[in-house]
Amino acid sequence: MSSRRSELMTLPNLISAARLLLVPVFAVLLLQGHDLWGLVVLAVAAASDWVDGKIARALDQVSRLGELLDPAADRLFILVTLVVLVIRDVVPWWVVGAVVGRDLLLTVVLAVLMVRGVGPLPVHFLGKAGTFALLYAFPLLLLAQWPGTVGAAAGLVGWAFAWWGIGLYWSAAGVYVRQAAGALRGRAA
Tens-digit pLDDT profile for residues 41-88: 988 887 887 787 788 888 887 777 777 777 788 888 888 888 999 999
Q: Is residue 32 part of a domain?
A: yes
Residues 64 and 98 both lie in one domain? no
Q: Which of 129, 123, 133 is nearest to 71 (CA)?
A: 123
Count of C-beta atoms within a 10 Å radius of residue 138: 26
Cα 112 from Cα 119, distance rounded (Å): 10
How many structural domains are present in the chain?
Answer: 2
84 in any annotated domain: no
* 82 part of a folded domain: no
What distance lies between CA 13 and its chain's CA centroid? 16
Asked if residue 181 and residue 112 are part of one domain, the reply reads yes
State which residues form the domain around 56: 1-74
- What's the pLDDT score for residue 1? 46
What is the pLDDT at residue 189?
A: 66
Does residue 179 share a domain with residue 101?
yes
CA distance 94 to 54: 34
Same domain, 126 and 177: yes
Based on the fold, state whether residues 98 and 70 are members of the same structural domain.
Answer: no
Residue ranges, the chain, pLDDT below 50: 1
Can you give the pTM of this predicted structure? 0.78
